[in-house]
Amino acid sequence: MAEVQAWAADLRRAGRRLALVPTMGFLHEGHLSLMREGRKRADGVATSIFVNPTQFGPKEDLSRYPKDFEGDLAKCGSAGVDVVFAPEASTMYPPGYETYVEVTDVSQGLCGERRPGHFRGVATIVTRLLCMFRPDVALFGEKDYQQLQVIKALNRDLHLGVEILGMPTVREPDGLAMSSRNAYLSSEDRKRALAISRGLGAAQALYRSGTSEASALTEAVRRELRAADLREDYVELVDAERLKPVASVQPSQPARLLVAAFCGTTRLIDNQPIGG
């Protein structure tokens, strides 16, 4: 930890910009797109690889999370990353550790309701990484949209002074949002999972044809989930910043359609901007 802090401090002293890309590893093109964007926006790029135990619930299998550390290092190198920080859990949470960060509003509902404690763990580890590296910019994917809003809130409220940049979801050629958890899907489930992006596309098309009511837009998604026998966790239309449910899309208020569904035993999330 001291070594990476010293590297970041040297970069700052030289008046150079630093970009940080926090990850949990098992990297895919979505992660690499963040790293390449960080390379464009800064002189140095750091990536963390840390499967954070505090953001897993008691019924979620932390030990099952996919890992490929050697492959991750090679991918980081190809994306122009200068430093990879891959600590042990005991480094980040040593004996006696007792400080946690909780964002109380925007973390409510959606994944915050279905995964109690998840965003407390996310907020804590991201705050620690931002304080450790003190980057000029930190990059996150919009696929984890509620997480992105939680991170923006903690950065604002704690005056950390980091530019938090959300980057568009990177998708497979057939539309499936890239996710480390896609590795859990069987070949058949992989095909069924396309119902999520297909439903979001149907809702977007419906909105463009003149329908703005939340009930109709969410039903367009649910119809696709049912057809593929995916189990809905939630389908909600919310305002894009505070994530509060809205009854319809208003021209002056950007909205976001968020989905979580189970394909077999694998929980997948995705989202789509609507209007604005």
**pLDDT (tens digit per residue) in 55-64:** 998 878 788 8
242 and 186, same domain (yes or no) = yes
Active site residue 31: yes
Tell me the C-alpha to C-alpha distance, in Å, between residue 125 and each of 101, 156, 257.
8, 16, 27
113 touches 245 (CB < 8 A): no
Report how far Cα 131 is from the mean position of its chain's Cα atoms.
19
Work out the average pLDDT over 3-11. Answer: 96
Is 25 among the annotated ligand-binding positions?
yes
User: Out of 4-8, 19-23, 55-59, 268-272, which region has the weakest mean confidence (pLDDT)?
Assistant: 55-59
Nearest alpha-carbon partner for 200 in 264, 246, 256, 249: 256
Is pLDDT at 276 greater than 80 in this prediction? no
Is pLDDT at 85 greater than 70 in this prediction? yes
146 and 203, same domain (yes or no) = no
**What confidence score (pLDDT) does residue 57 get?**
87
Work out the average pLDDT over 10-14. Answer: 96
Coil, helix or strand at residue 140: strand
- The conformational region for residue 274 under phi > 0 = left, psi -120 to 50 = alpha, else beta, is beta
Residues 24-42: pLDDT tens digits? 999 999 999 999 999 999 9
d(CA 155, CA 162): 7
Question: Is 204 inside a domain boundary?
Answer: yes
**DSSP secondary structure of 194-251:** HHHHHHHHHHHHHHHTT--BHHHHHHHHHHHHHHTTPEEEEEEEEETTT--B-SB-BT
Is 141 among the annotated ligand-binding positions?
yes
Is 250 among the annotated ligand-binding positions?
no
Is 258 among the annotated ligand-binding positions?
no
Is 179 among the annotated ligand-binding positions?
yes
139 and 29, same domain (yes or no) = yes
**What confidence score (pLDDT) does residue 61 get?**
78
User: Out of 12-26, 55-69, 89-103, 145-159, which region has the weakest mean confidence (pLDDT)?
Assistant: 55-69
243 and 161, same domain (yes or no) = no
Beta strand ranges found along the chain (DSSP E): 18-23, 44-49, 83-85, 137-141, 163-167, 231-239, 255-263, 266-274
DSSP code, position 26 = S
Q: Residues 8, 31, 155, 220: which is the catalytic one?
A: 31
Is 31 among the annotated ligand-binding positions?
yes
189 and 158, same domain (yes or no) = no
154 and 32, same domain (yes or no) = yes
**What confidence score (pLDDT) does residue 60 get?**
83
Is 29 among the annotated ligand-binding positions?
yes
Report how far Cα 235 is from the mean position of its chain's Cα atoms.
17
71 and 149, same domain (yes or no) = yes
Is 61 among the annotated ligand-binding positions?
no
Q: Total domain count for the chain?
A: 2
Report how far Cα 85 is from the mean position of its chain's Cα atoms.
19
Boundaries of domain holding 40: 2-167
CATH number of the CATH domain containing 133: 3.40.50.620
Residue ending a domain, among 109, 141, 167, is: 167
11 and 101, same domain (yes or no) = yes
Is 35 among the annotated ligand-binding positions?
no
